[in-house]
Structure 1
Amino acid sequence: MGDNKQVFTSITKKPGVGYPVLTPNLRGVEGALASGAEEVAMFTAVTDSFNQKNTNCSTEEAIRRAADVIKHALDNNLRVRGYVSCVLGCPYEGPVDPVKVADMAQRLYEAGCYEISLGDTIGVGTAGSTARMLDEVLKVVPVEALAVHCHDTYGQALANILKSLEYGIRVVDSSVAGLGGCPYAPGAKGNVATEDVVYMLNGLGYKTNADLNELVNIGNWISDKLGRETNSRAGAALTVASRRKAALDSKL
């Protein structure tokens, strides 16, 4: 995250769009403030093993550190979004107890996070395990303060998001072209592709205010820059359909 400030101060900000800065520690909050950020994101994981790998501390230490970061951010009039990693499985400890997820989500919410993003960091979740986890979390955190963050390692991200929608969750994290992954979760794929989520939501009749065609164009652009194929199935299919239509139109 060494170039956070350079990226944040270089992009053109659009009205009505939030630009949160990931801040793992107090120094991160100071950097966000210096860059002119209005919102920060604080993350921690449910399991000790992942926290040790990711931030070199135990889960309890991670919670205490998060509380300090949240307080400092709130004291400086920054909004804080919390992330809980490994809510459906840990690469080192396996399945995760939903009660532990609920406890951590509650502690972050009570510390001042306006929203808690529940992350299936390694993408092992299913609709069933997602439901069991949400059953516990919703006992202690209101649904309007929850979001889901589903990686697509096993191709279950859309199913897990659909299940979350059934529970009333209306905020979904995603990444264009399915970019991402985690250096501490070997084999994990990126976050669910934004194009795929929007395609599904359009089909369900939800209003997203997202232009799917433009998302596909952006996904193709960044994939080309990175020298890789898009991880979005909807993006790939719509690109083929668009090129086929253009070829037919050119013959008319």
Structure 2
Amino acid sequence: MSKDASPRSDKWVDIIEVGTRDGLQIEKKLIPAAEKIAILDAMIASGIRLIEVTSFVSPKAVPQLADAAEVLAGIARRDDTYLMALVPNVRGADRAAETSLDGGVLLCSASETHNRKNLNRSIGESIDGFAAIAERLREAGIDRLGAVATAFGCPFEGEIDQANMFRIVRAYAELGVKHLTLGDTTGMATPANVRATVRALKAEFPGLDLCLHLHNTRGVGLANVIVGLEEGVRRFDASVGGLGGCPFAAGATGNICTEDLVYLLQESGYETGIDLCKSIDVALRMERALEKPLVGQVMRAGPRLTLHAADAVPTAAG
């Protein structure tokens, strides 16, 4: 998946930025392609190497992402930049094949109801369609990646049937997919079910490289990161300023925040290759573009050792 083949320490953690895809897909204010490109360039300049830029979904379904090809064409890559996009069907794969995309993400939900809402087909129909999508991507020289939505719970069905999860992952494995993202689509992940799900998948599919896509809907996003780290996960999705949410799932709110995740990892002794202050600047730029406050916390407070003049605040009286 990564273009950078240099050896990594066991303290290295990859952060995949998903803000311009998962973050913006739910936003009503349309961001011009030129501004998206400028934000993506700033992300890359901050040290982010892995970016899920967009989705080749129907422009009618998600107008915000109708400019997928234009945005991908405009990004100023570095040698180690790796750009991904969701490719939900063969039509999307045909569009992706005409771009400089590095990785195409196949998607299916572990919930039958959510899969029908999100992709307008059954789980079985999605699985049956994987081969054609994967073949089109292969022909174009694009890596095939896999993702499972509602991996930790569904707002329509509740707990996820592990058999459905295994059925999807097995279909990916049969296509040679080695990188799998587990999506916490509406923030139903908890430390307990993250641990249980990661352990179950590692036991059943030991060759998979797992990524956790966590939301902070119920305030435990970073707690789930800690559990993922304890279980050996070294790849996490995050979104600039905490943007995000699925437009086809009830109660969906933002992803874990990129700057908050960078801060947590760096203060916990992990390496990310990302400059925290530059990452904060990207979040502030996205906030200006959307003309609304974002939910990130570190973008407000700054790094832990950010110092202030004593006379910048009043002195208690009495």
> With structure 2 as the length reference, what TM-score do the two structures score?
0.73
Q: Is residue 67–residue 108 contact of structure 1 (8 Å, CA) maintained in 2?
A: no
**Structure 1 Cα separation of the partners of residues 280 and 243 of structure 2:** 13
- The residue number in structure 2 matching 1:172 is 236
- The residue number in structure 1 matching 2:227 is 163
**Structure 2 Cα separation of the partners of residues 208 and 42 of structure 1:** 26
Q: Determine whether 1:53 maps to 2:117.
A: yes
| Residue identity opposite 1:167 in structure 2 | E
Between the two proteins, what is the percent identity of the paired residues? 30
- The residue number in structure 1 matching 2:57 is none
**Structure 2 Cα separation of the partners of residues 241 and 15 of structure 1:** 32
CA pair 228-109 structure 1, distance change in 2 beyond 3 A: farther
What displacement does 1:136 show? 1.4
Q: Determine whether 1:21 maps to 2:85.
A: yes
- The residue number in structure 2 matching 1:106 is 170
What displacement does 1:13 show? 1.7
CA pair 105-144 structure 1, distance change in 2 beyond 3 A: closer
- The residue number in structure 1 matching 2:126 is 62
- The residue number in structure 1 matching 2:103 is 39
What displacement does 1:240 show? 11
**Structure 2 Cα separation of the partners of residues 74 and 112 of structure 1:** 11
- Larger mean CA deviation between 135-144 and 239-248 belongs to 239-248
RMSD: 2.1
What displacement does 1:4 show? 0.7
Structure 1 residues not aligned, in runs of 5+:
none
Q: Determine whether 1:201 maps to 2:288.
A: no
Q: Is residue 21–residue 40 contact of structure 1 (8 Å, CA) maintained in 2?
A: yes
**Structure 1 Cα separation of the partners of residues 272 and 304 of structure 2:** 24
**Structure 2 Cα separation of the partners of residues 128 and 235 of structure 1:** 29
Using CA pairs below 8 Å that are at least 6 residues apart, which structure has the higher relative contact order? 2
Deviation per residue, 1:154-185 (Å, 9 max, x gap) = 01111111111111110101111011111111
Q: Which residue of 285, 302, 305 corresponds with 1:221? A: 285
What displacement does 1:190 show? 1.6
**Structure 2 Cα separation of the partners of residues 73 and 246 of structure 1:** 58
Q: Determine whether 1:137 maps to 2:201.
A: yes
What displacement does 1:241 show? 8.2
**Structure 1 Cα separation of the partners of residues 307 and 288 of structure 2:** 16
**Structure 2 Cα separation of the partners of residues 246 and 75 of structure 1:** 62
| Residue identity opposite 1:204 in structure 2 | S
- The residue number in structure 1 matching 2:38 is none
Structure 1 residue ranges (4+ consecutive) displaced by more than 6 angstroms after TM superposition:
none
Deviation per residue, 1:211-242 (Å, 9 max, x gap) = 01111111011012111212212222218986
What displacement does 1:69 show? 0.8
Deviation per residue, 1:1-34 (Å, 9 max, x gap) = 3211111112212220101122111121221121
**Structure 2 Cα separation of the partners of residues 22 and 246 of structure 1:** 49
What displacement does 1:246 show? 11
**Structure 2 Cα separation of the partners of residues 110 and 236 of structure 1:** 45
CA pair 107-237 structure 1, distance change in 2 beyond 3 A: same
SS of match in other structure, 2:212: strand
Deviation per residue, 1:113-152 (Å, 9 max, x gap) = 2300001100011100111111211122236511100011
SS of match in other structure, 1:187: coil
SS of match in other structure, 1:138: helix
- State the aligned residue count: 248
